[in-house]
Amino acid sequence: MPTTKFLRLALAIFLCVILYAFIWDLLSSQQFGNKRKNSFEKSEVKLTGLFKWKEVTMGHNPNIIMMGGGTGQNTGTRQMTDSKAGSVAGMEQTHQHFINSNNNIDDMQKHISIKTNITEDIVKTIQTNDKFAKIVTSKVTKAKITPMKPLNGKDFKKLPMWDFEDVYLKDPQPRKTTCQQSIRNSENPEFKKAFIPNIRLFMNREDLNISEWNRLAHFNNPFGFMGYKYTEVKKVVDLIPKLADYQLLPVPEAEKQGCIRCAVVATGGILNGSKMGKEIDSHDYVFRMNGAVIKGYEEDVGSKTSVYVHTAHSMVSVHYTLKKFGFKNIPNDKGIKYVLIPEGLRDFHWLQGLLNKTEVTGSSYRHMRPLKYYAGQFDYNRFYVLHPDFLRYVRNRFMKSKQLQGGYWKMYRPTNGAFTLFLALHTCDTVDAYGFITSEHSKYPNYYYERFSKTRVIFYINHDYNLEIKTWKKLHDSNIMRLYQRKDNTEKNGN
């Protein structure tokens, strides 16, 4: 009888222990599960909360790559669910010709093109006593960023407009000026809204990771990397040295007011017989581009060159097309800065050969040695590659052509002269532009070195010369720069 009572008591105690352990296990698992669920939901909001797509008109069977790795057909915008929705909502507005942007690219990079396929084991140990421990394991998804599938420009009937179209990298060392006459001090409201003084001008090896690639892969070249392979471009960008100084040009030592005064010299026929050479050379720095034929034309165009802007195509072609005008080499002044516009994949092949000091291994420049084209003045510390963000910023805010709304949208880009002029406007305090197209271009030959030829400007579809005519005149009339118009140019705000 005592044995039976003892067994019943032991059984009751055992059942109580089992019940207690079951309840403890249930409560612990629910608490951990809720914490895990909340943590993942926060992460998901953070990863997908910033970028959204607008619907775009596309070609046959459109597929838009979604941020989470999936696709959507004629997909609208993804919804924000966190407290940042209000601040990001402003990015959903249609981006127009002149708008202001204060977006922080560092925040943006955390949200771009996420694919969740890495898991990590989380182990939680619950100690009940010295002899017993219960281990609860679970899987929590972490994010791995992978290169997005390349977009095909042929799938878009016109320029696709993403909600991050007007988001740009900023320079970590923005230039500060003490020059009272600086462009940066302009009070013109339209220009102030459009102008970003610390826009990232140049690209280097630290600028391109997978997150940045997935952002820039939405834009056609030279404004991004649409249609390119990540590995092919990445291996070249990794060769571009980090800039020791983000300022392209220093303030001259003798300059007491802290001003950088620049001339930008294009190749327009308006300079033929202009006798502007001495005035051009009187500037602190002189920018030139493309077929900068100087020898024999000094009286009209000057002789000094501080910055020479080019593409791989312009670099190669001028050596063949301009021989009859006396062209031998690109400008090679001591200490000259060379700036490359990476307009296509062939420019990256060119860049790879240049920085490795080898032959080009791909594209139409195969077996060429880029180094020999730089007239003995190439220096890693004086070589720059324009960033796609800067090129897109120039197009979006100042040169947004109507051609972008048609079937040839992918072909359009501002001229090399336009990119050079805006580079100067973001580098110098005052800018005077010479040899740029004006409304009276038909009075002059196409190029200043065509002294004895009656030629005219050909309006190719890849540029919008009418827009450039209006833009240069507008910047001149707004006192942003001075445009040489072969009239009374003694006043900055001339005709």
Are 131 and 188 found together in one domain? no
pLDDT at 33: 41
DSSP-derived secondary structure for 334-360: TT-EEEE---SHHHHHHHHHHHHTS--
Cβ neighbours of residue 106 closer than 8 Å, sequence gap 6 or more: none
Cis peptide before 222 (omega within 30 of 0): yes
Are 230 and 370 found together in one domain? yes
pLDDT at 8: 72
**Domain span including residue 125:** 19-72+110-146
Residue 410 and residue 153: Cα distance in Å, rounded? 7
- pLDDT tens digit string along 328-386? 999 999 999 999 999 999 999 999 999 999 999 877 899 999 999 998 899 999 999 99
Residue 168 and residue 105: Cα distance in Å, rounded? 7
Are 246 and 126 found together in one domain? no
Are 241 and 132 found together in one domain? no
Closest CA to 290 of 319, 333, 250, 258: 319
Counting beta carbons within 10 angstroms of the beta carbon of residue 136, is it exposed (0 to 12), middle (13 to 18) or buried (19 or more)?
A: middle
Are 357 and 224 found together in one domain? yes
Pseudo-torsion of CA 276, 459, 321, 287, nearest 10°?
A: 40
Are 197 and 295 found together in one domain? yes
- Measured CA distances, 82 to 45, 46, 47, 104, 424 (Å): 6, 8, 11, 18, 41
- pLDDT tens digit string along 11-32? 777 776 666 666 655 554 444 4
Whether 488 is in a domain gets the answer no
Are 55 and 186 found together in one domain? no
pLDDT at 72: 32
Q: Identify the segments of the chain with pLDDT beneath 50.
A: 28-141, 488-495
Are 118 and 192 found together in one domain? no
Contact 434, 276 (CB under 8 A): yes
Whether 91 is in a domain gets the answer no
Angle in degrees, 0-180, between the axes of helices 345-356 and 230-237, rounded to the nearest 10: 40
Whether 105 is in a domain gets the answer no
Are 136 and 274 found together in one domain? no
- The CATH number of whichever domain residue 294 belongs to comes to 3.90.1480.20
| Total number of domains constituting the chain | 2
Sign of CA dihedral 286, 256, 180, 493: negative
Backbone angles phi, psi at 137, to 5 degrees: -110, 150
Are 478 and 358 found together in one domain? yes
Strand order across the beta sheet in which 261-265 lies: 383-385, 337-340, 307-310, 285-289, 261-265, 430-434, 482-483
Return the DSSP state at 252.
P
Whether 86 is in a domain gets the answer no
Q: Where does residue 175 fall: left (phi above 0), alpha (psi -120 to 50 degrees), or beta otherwise?
A: beta
Whether 97 is in a domain gets the answer no
Counting beta carbons within 10 angstroms of the beta carbon of residue 126, is it exposed (0 to 12), middle (13 to 18) or buried (19 or more)?
A: middle
- pLDDT tens digit string along 123-181? 333 333 333 333 333 344 456 889 999 999 999 999 999 999 999 999 988 888 999 99
Are 214 and 352 found together in one domain? yes
Are 294 and 328 found together in one domain? yes
